[in-house]
Amino acid sequence: MQSEFIIEMLNIRKEFPGIVANDDITLQLRRGEIHALLGENGAGKSTLMSVLFGMYQPEKGEIRKNGEVVKINNPNDATALKIGMVHQHFKLVDVFSVLDNIILGAEDTKFGFLQKKEARKKVQQLSENYKLHVDLDAKVEDITVGMQQRTEILKMLYRDNEILIFDEPTAVLTPQEIDELMEIMRGFAREGKSILFITHKLNEIMAVADRCTVLRKGKYVGTVNVKDTNKQELSNMMVGRPVQLQVQKDEAKPGETILSVQGLTIPSKSSKKDAVKNVSFDVRAGEIVCIAGIDGNGQSELVYGITGLEKTSRGKITLNGTDISKASISKRNAAGLSHIPEDRHKHGLVLDDTLENNIVLQRYREPAFQKFGFIKKAAVREYAEKIIGQYDVRSGQGPVTLSRSMSGGNQQKAIIGREVDRENPLLIAVQPTRGLDVGAIEYIHSQLVSQRDAGKAVLLVSLELDEVMNLSDRILVMYEGEIVGELDPKQTTVQELGLYMAGAKRNTKGGEQA
C-alpha cells in the first residue's frame, strides 16, 4: 500500500553545541504537490535540508520514504532515494558544456568511454517534455543564469529524481524567468513529481505552492494550505509578529534638485555598445526616484557612473550644485553622496575586516577619527557602537566582529547605517533588499522612507516590482541603456510597468529628459 506522503521528516531534532538548529520539526511532502518551506534567514531551513541529504545526522526523529523508515547517511543515499536539489548557488562546472554538466557524475560508459549519444537523446527528450530550453553544447560560463538553472533542473531529471528540491530558486531570476520557472514547477507536479520549494518570497508561495510549512528560529510553526491563507498570515507566522507588508508613507514633498544627470553616456565593459545611452534625469530633495528595469539594462552602470566607479564618456552630473562629472570617488563622497551598493560583498564591505573598520570605511580620514595619520581607535569604536545601536546591527562580538561572520541582513543594516549616518543630501540605494528576509526588508524600506521625509534625495534601483511600486514617488524605466518611460506609481500597474521593462512601450524620446 502506498503512503500518502512520498517523503516524511518526522520530529527532527538537530543540535549544534550551544544551539538547537532544528527542534522537533516535521515536514511531510505529498506525492505530486508543491510544498513551500518558508522561514527567515536562520530559521533552520538549510539544516533541515542537510539532514535530508545525509550531511548531518539528526539527534532525534526519523525520515520515511513511502511510509518506510530510511537511513540517509550521506548524499549518495539521498540520490539513491531519488531526491535531487537545485542549490541556490549552482553547482556547475563553468568550462564544461551544458550536456557534460548534466551527465557529470552519472555518465554512461562503455569500455571506459563516455556514451554521450544516448545521454544527449535522453536530455533532449527531457528538455522537450518539460520545455526546458537549453543549448546543450554551450559552455556554462556563456549562458544566462536562467539557463544555468534549467541545466541544474535537467540534472535532477536526468537522474530520474522524483523529489525535487528548489533552494531559493528565484533569487537570481528576472520576473519573466520567474514566471517560466513557476510554470515548469507546475508541470513537474502534474507529472507526479513532488516539489519542495524553499523560499522567503510570499508572492511565489501564493502563486505556485499547494501547502506551506513555516519554520521560525529552529522551531516548527505549522503547515497550512496555501488556498486557505494569505500573505499577511504567512509573514506573521514566519516573523512571529505582525509585519507591515505595505510601506507606510505620506505624499512626497519634493524640494530643490539635488542630483541632475544630463546626457550621460557610459561605455559597456563587455561589448562595443554603450551600456548607458544619453540618459538625463533629476532627483529632488524629499522624493524617492526608482530606476526600474530588468537586470542588465544599464542600471548598474548608471550607478557606477554617478558614483565614480566607472568612467563616463559623455554627459554631466551635478550634485548639490557641484559638477562631479570627472571628480574622484572621494570628492563625490565629500560632495554629498551616500551609496548603498548593489553588491554588498564586493563593494559594500571589506569582509575580512572588523565591523568597526567597515563603519568608518569612508570617514577614517576625517579629523574625528585620525590625528597625524594615526587612527583614533577609541573614537572609531565609539562611533561604531553608536551606529550599531542606532541601526540595530546585530553581531556576535559587536564592533570587533568580523564582517564576514554576520548575517546578510545585518551586513546590510551596517552599510545602511554607515551611509545614512553620513547625512548626505543624496542617497543612492541599489537593490537594498536583495536576498533579505521580510523583517529586514521592512526595516530597510522604513529607513529609506524616513530619509526621504528628512529631505534627502533618494535614488533607488530595484528589480523587485513590489518594491518599485510600493516605495517610489516616481518611476524611471530603463531598457537597453535608455530611460524609456517615466511613470507615476499611483497611476500605473505592474502590467504596464512590465511592458516598459520589456521594451514594448515607451513614453520618452531617445534619452531626453524623462
Partner 1 sequence: MKNTLLDLYRKDSTKKVLASLISILAGLVVGAIVVVLVGLSKPNIGASGIWDGVRLIFAGILSTGRAATGELSWGFNARALGNMLFRATPLILTGLSVAVANKTGLFNIGAPGQYLMGTMATLVVALSIPYGTMPVFFVWLLAFLAGCAAGALWGAIPGALKAFLNINEVLACIMTNWLAANVVTWVFEESNMKNIVEGTKAGYIYKTTYGLTQVDGAWTYVEGNGVATAKMGLDKIFPGSQVNGGILIAIVIAIGVAILMSKTTLGYELKACGANRHAARYAGIRDKRNIVLSMAIAGGLSGAGAALYWLSGNTEFFWSTYQSLPAAGFNGIPVALLAVNNPIGVVFSALFMAMLNIVGQQLTGFTAYNEYITDVIIAVIVYLSAFSLLIRTKLSGKSKAGKTNANAELVKTEEKPTAEAETEKGGEDA
Residues that bind partner 1 (CB under 8 A): 14-22, 40-47, 49-50, 53, 55-56, 87-89, 217-218, 307, 309, 328-333, 339, 341, 345-353, 357, 361-362, 364-365, 370, 373-375, 377, 393-396, 401-402, 404-410, 435
CB of 129 to partner 1, least distance (A): 31
Strands 426-430 and 457-462: parallel
Nearer to partner 1, 46 or 257 (CB): 46
Nearer to partner 1, 26 or 330 (CB): 330
List, in sequence order, every residue forming a beta bridge with 479; answer none if it has no partner. 482
**Amino acid identity of 400?**
V
SS3 of residue 328 by DSSP: coil
Nearer of residues 261 and 393 to partner 1, judged by Cβ? 393
Least distance to partner 1 from the beta carbon of 49, Å?
7
CB of 14 to partner 1, least distance (A): 7
Place of cell 507591515: 244
Residue 344 or 452: the one with the smaller Cβ distance to partner 1 is: 344
Look at the chain and count its residues: 514
Q: Which is nearer to partner 1, 3 or 407 (CB)?
A: 407
29, exposed or middle or buried, with CB in 10 Å at 0-12, 13-18, 19+?
Answer: buried
| C-alpha cell at position 193 | 513529481
For the bound state, the minimum distance from the C-beta of residue 58 to partner 1, rounded and expressed in Å, comes to 12
Phi first, then psi, for residue 220 (nearest 5°) are -85, 125
CB of 329 to partner 1, least distance (A): 4
Alpha-carbon span 156 to 144, nearest angstrom: 19
Cell numbers at 32, concatenated: 505530486
Q: Which is nearer to partner 1, 37 or 469 (CB)?
A: 37
Residue type, 199: T
Cβ(424)–Cβ(397) under 8 Å? no
> In the complex, what is the shortest distance from the CB of residue 367 to partner 1, in angstroms, rounded to a whole number?
11
- Please state the closest distance from residue 513 (CB atom) to partner 1, in A: 29
Q: In this complex, which beta carbon is closest to partner 1, that of residue 415 or of residue 484?
A: 415
CA distance 127 to 7: 26
Q: Which C-beta is closer to partner 1: that of 22 or that of 149?
A: 22
How many other CB atoms are there within 10 angstroms of residue 283's CB atom? 26
| CB nearer partner 1, residue 232 or residue 362 | 362
3-state secondary structure of 3: coil
CB 36 within 8 A of CB 206: no
Which residue, 439 or 485, has its beta carbon nearer to partner 1? 439
Q: Quote the least distance from Cβ 125 to partner 1, whole Å.
A: 32
Residues 6+ apart with CB under 8 A from 353: 402, 403
- 314 forms beta bridges with 265
* CA–CA distance, 390 with 406 (Å, rounded to integer): 17
Q: H-helix or E-strand containing 446?
A: helix 438-453
Cell numbers linked to 120: 544527449
Q: How far is the CB of 220 from partner 1 (least distance, A)?
A: 15
Strand, coil or helix: 239: helix
**CB of residue 328 to partner 1, shortest distance in Å:** 7
- Least distance in angstroms from the C-beta of 351 to partner 1: 7
Nearer to partner 1, 3 or 46 (CB): 46
23 alpha carbon, distance to own chain's centre = 27
Q: How far is the CB of 451 from partner 1 (least distance, A)?
A: 20
State the nearest-atom distance from the C-beta of 109 to partner 1, in Å. 28
Closest CB to partner 1 among residues 260, 407? 407
Cα 162 from Cα 307, distance rounded (Å): 49
Q: Are 465 and 497 in contact (CB under 8 A)?
A: yes
Tell me the C-alpha distance between 315 and 301, whole Å.
14
CB atoms within 10 A of CB 450: 12
Give 348's DSSP letter: I
Q: If residue 21 lies in a helix (H) or strand (E), which one and from where to where?
A: strand 19-30
Q: Using alpha carbons, select from 45, 193, 178, 67 the residue that is nearest to residue 129.
A: 193
Q: What is the residue-wise DSSP string for 178-207?
A: HHHHHHHHHHHHHTT-EEEEEE--HHHHHH
Q: What are phi and psi of 64, to 5 degrees?
A: -125, 140
Of the pair 405, 493, the CB lying nearest partner 1 is at 405
